[in-house]
Structure 1
Amino acid sequence: MKRGRPCAILVGAAIAAACGTVEPGASPSNRAGPCDLAGPPPRDLAEGRTIGTAYRSVFADGDRCYAEIAGRDFGSLTTEIGTMTNTVAPTPGRFDFREADAVADAARRNHQDFQIHSLIWDPLDQQVWGIVPEYVRALPDAQRHRFMTDLVTKVVSRYAGRASTVTVVNEPFDQRGGLQHNAWWRSTSSDEYIVEAFRAARLAAPTMKLLLNEHSSETISDKSNALLALSKKLRDTTVEVNVDGKTERRPLLDGVGFQAHMLGGPDQQPRTEDMRANLKRFTDLGLDVRFTELDVRIPTKDGRAGAEDLQRQARVYATMAGLCRETARCTGITFWGFTDRHSWITDYPATFSGYGSANLLDADYRAKPAWDSLRSALR
């Protein structure tokens, strides 16, 4: 994200010192300090679940509130980019763990859970992001497959004992439930690449929780049906591991992550009953579920969100928190960022034209109505 952008183009701009404007519906400050927020933090309301946020160490550099709020108010930190292929393996023969280590160290200092995210991912609709480096794409299929399993082994082994959870494979399906024919799929021309990635992860860290992650699958659909079938296959497949000196067999999959990038415009929310029924299908397999990338983008005009949309956004956040709380095997929620100052939504305005203001806090770290509605739903 580009920093220091003019106030006139801040998506979801709120009370900005440089602009002197107030976003309709935003909560008043009433803060003792610039980074203070009212009431108990979400991490203290979780009741056995982990309420966390994606985190980038670069955002904390020179931004006191980003580091302070992330460390104080949330119970876990997840690598937003730190364990993606183009970050940890940017060039042939070189691994770079500086960003992932920085997130792990921040979580340790703050007595937080640490989670790693999106090891094997190749978004065909966003090739501009370069998640899979060109040198990896150029490898022959067999070599690319070996690179994949070696990558999983190296990353998961490094954080064994530090990370509680890892998203091994991210977004394998298209909207119709077919496997994406991405760089990783081409190495086996089947879902075998997914099975082998999970096998490598389980062998590298037998007790780490292994997640399969997908977007737009919160309701019952062709896509979530395919996700359910793959989840059952991975759950039914076991591998022999050593745990505390004892040999045992463990399944390849512990849980499914539902990204929950939600829309907060009028009539854009899925039915709560549909989401509840869908989650039950996965927990009935003995799997945990988690909302892994929750945000709620809402309509904006000239970079501003209206009071009605902010209230609707608050209700969506409360709905998702309520669903997790009522689902016995929901391990918690990870927000895909917590402030509009640092948001992937505002990073790509062309992708999300007309929408923004997706996070719990505005660009000046002031609470939106969603902050209080979230905390109420967690109580």
Structure 2
Amino acid sequence: MKQGRLGAILLAAAIAACACGSVEPGGAPSPSNRAGPCALPDPPLRDLAEGRTIGTAYRSSFADGDRCYAEIAGREFGSLTTEIGTMTNTVAPAAGRFDFREADAVADAARRNRQDFQIHSLIWDPLDQQVWGVVPEYVRALPDAQRHRFMTDLVTKVVGRYAGRASTVTVVNEPFDQRGTLQHNAWWRTTSGDQYIVDAFRAARLAAPTMKLYLNEHSAETVSDKSNALLALAKKLRETSVEVVVDGRAERRPLLDGVGFQAHMLGGADQQPRTEDMRANLRRFTDLGLDVRFTELDVRIPTKDGRAGAEDLQRQARVYATMAGLCRQIERCTGLTVWGFTDERSWITDYPATFSGYGSANLLDANYAAKPAWNSLRSALR
């Protein structure tokens, strides 16, 4: 249950030819909200959200030459999130150089499609996957004090650039290990504690006072040592404020607006957490006055030779519906973001060694046809 982050980092920008027919699970043609090979049932998914936003992670390179990726992402979803465009190794690939091309492309696509734009994962260092190079080597080589200054400058520059365009930003991603201990990563070492997190959020708040600031974590959907630690950190950030100027007036605003629960779920038999446990956990956070969101939802299921069985596809469909229904039950749940929407572009299947025996995690298959999960999610949103 790791961050959709992963495949996002080093995936080649492969261009797939698009044989994008759409059928209902039983094989019958679907009514279409747009004629052509990228058709899906009416109305678009985004129109069913009822005050919540249903979004997807997005990479502009996937849209190049792939009509269905671009068309479905723009038509069906209410928000686009930078899959890799605002990660450190993408936006600051070399010393003294910033590269906003990918992030700008996602922002521009969201503007064209009249979608919400969200920034993902500014400060993150996955210790279990250093091969992805999320924190470039030139940053790791900096003395601690300089690396801390680089961190706050990075947050200031990225958040400031998209102030007024992005609604939310994941400032810090995955700070804890499974035991609820802060990971001793490249950012932690700058303060040897959680002060780096406080400083990153302070920089974000000052750079864009009205942008929603999120803390994001995986495998914290239920009450556990990890979610307990996340709750304590969220409380600290919520209770810490900074003075900003909004519409010409000085006011104090808290450093944290919401917590993202990644929701990389397992869809095999008896692998799902109890809905009651997730509901109780989420309400601990909303009781602090925080918004919550499922930020990277996918549901990986057992596969054999790349194919999933009918029972597992139906079980997957129920998990998607459960997560959507759970969000609807939580007043301060702002919605959900799927971490990709087609198995053609999936970080799960692109890392077979990491997820051996699992795949088929997304709402649409590799040909952009609706899986049972697509229809189940639509029904859950109605």
TM-score range, shorter chain: over 0.9
**Candidates 68, 73, 87, aligned match of 1:70:** 73
CA-atom RMSD in angstroms: 1.9
Partner of 1:11: none
Give 1:132's aligned amino acid.
V
Give, in angstroms, the shift of residue 347 of structure 1: 1.5
2:38 is equivalent to residue 38 of structure 1: no
Measured against aligned partners, the alpha-carbon deviations of 1:294-326 in whole angstroms (never above 9, x if no partner) come to 000000001000000000000000000000011
Partner of 1:61: 64
CA distance in 2: counterparts of 1:133 and 1:167, whole angstroms? 19
Partner of 2:165: 162
Indicate if the aligned counterparts of 1:27 and 1:366 stay in contact, CA closer than 8 A. no
Indicate if the aligned counterparts of 1:23 and 1:306 stay in contact, CA closer than 8 A. no
Give, in angstroms, the shift of residue 39 of structure 1: 2.4
Match of 2:81, SS? strand
Partner of 2:313: 310
Partner of 1:194: 197
What aligned pairs does 1:193-342 form with structure 2 within 5 A after superposition? 193-342=196-345
Indicate if the aligned counterparts of 2:24 and 2:371 stay in contact, CA closer than 8 A. no
Give, in angstroms, the shift of residue 196 of structure 1: 0.1
Give, in angstroms, the shift of residue 24 of structure 1: 11
CA distance in 2: counterparts of 1:83 and 1:353, whole angstroms? 29
CA distance in 2: counterparts of 1:24 and 1:122, whole angstroms? 41
CA distance in 1: counterparts of 2:316 and 2:241, whole angstroms? 41
Indicate if the aligned counterparts of 1:25 and 1:310 stay in contact, CA closer than 8 A. no
Match of 1:344, SS? coil
1:363 and 1:28, CA in 2 relative to 1: closer, same or farther beyond 3 A? farther
Q: TM-score, normalised by structure 2?
A: 0.94
Indicate if the aligned counterparts of 1:85 and 1:132 stay in contact, CA closer than 8 A. yes
Determine which structure has greater relative contact order: mean sequence separation of CA pairs < 8 Å that are 6+ residues apart, divided by chain length. Answer: 1
Indicate if the aligned counterparts of 1:264 and 1:316 stay in contact, CA closer than 8 A. yes
Give, in angstroms, the shift of residue 38 of structure 1: 1.0
What aligned pairs does 1:19-30 form with structure 2 within 5 A after superposition? 28-30=28-30
CA distance in 2: counterparts of 1:325 and 1:24, whole angstroms? 25
Measured against aligned partners, the alpha-carbon deviations of 1:105-124 in whole angstroms (never above 9, x if no partner) come to 00000000000000000000
Measured against aligned partners, the alpha-carbon deviations of 1:249-288 in whole angstroms (never above 9, x if no partner) come to 0000000000000000000000000000000000000000
Partner of 2:7: none
CA distance in 2: counterparts of 1:26 and 1:143, whole angstroms? 59
Match of 2:344, SS? coil
Give, in angstroms, the shift of residue 23 of structure 1: 11
1:17 and 1:39, CA in 2 relative to 1: closer, same or farther beyond 3 A? closer
Give 2:292's aligned amino acid.
V
Partner of 2:110: 107
Partner of 1:371: 374
Match of 2:349, SS? helix
Give, in angstroms, the shift of residue 346 of structure 1: 1.4
Indicate if the aligned counterparts of 2:258 and 2:292 stay in contact, CA closer than 8 A. yes
Give 1:203's aligned amino acid.
L
Gaps of 5+ in 1: 7-15
Give 1:71's aligned amino acid.
G
Partner of 1:123: 126
Indicate if the aligned counterparts of 1:23 and 1:304 stay in contact, CA closer than 8 A. no
1:25 and 1:355, CA in 2 relative to 1: closer, same or farther beyond 3 A? farther
1:58 and 1:237, CA in 2 relative to 1: closer, same or farther beyond 3 A? same
Indicate if the aligned counterparts of 2:222 and 2:278 stay in contact, CA closer than 8 A. yes
Match of 2:348, SS? helix
Gaps of 5+ in 2: 1-10
CA distance in 2: counterparts of 1:81 and 1:209, whole angstroms? 19
Match of 1:176, SS? coil
Match of 1:190, SS? coil
CA distance in 1: counterparts of 2:229 and 2:140, whole angstroms? 26
Match of 2:265, SS? strand
Partner of 2:54: 51
Give 2:100's aligned amino acid.
F
Give, in angstroms, the shift of residue 33 of structure 1: 1.4
Give, in angstroms, the shift of residue 167 of structure 1: 0.2
Indicate if the aligned counterparts of 2:123 and 2:151 stay in contact, CA closer than 8 A. yes
Partner of 1:185: 188
Match of 1:332, SS? strand
CA distance in 2: counterparts of 1:221 and 1:90, whole angstroms? 36
Partner of 2:90: 87
Give 1:268's aligned amino acid.
Q
CA distance in 2: counterparts of 1:347 and 1:23, whole angstroms? 25
**Candidates 135, 146, 151, aligned match of 1:148:** 151
Give, in angstroms, the shift of residue 40 of structure 1: 1.4
Indicate if the aligned counterparts of 1:25 and 1:306 stay in contact, CA closer than 8 A. no
CA distance in 1: counterparts of 2:47 and 2:19, whole angstroms? 30
Give, in angstroms, the shift of residue 27 of structure 1: 5.0
Match of 1:189, SS? coil
Partner of 2:3: none
Partner of 1:174: 177
Q: Percent identity?
A: 85
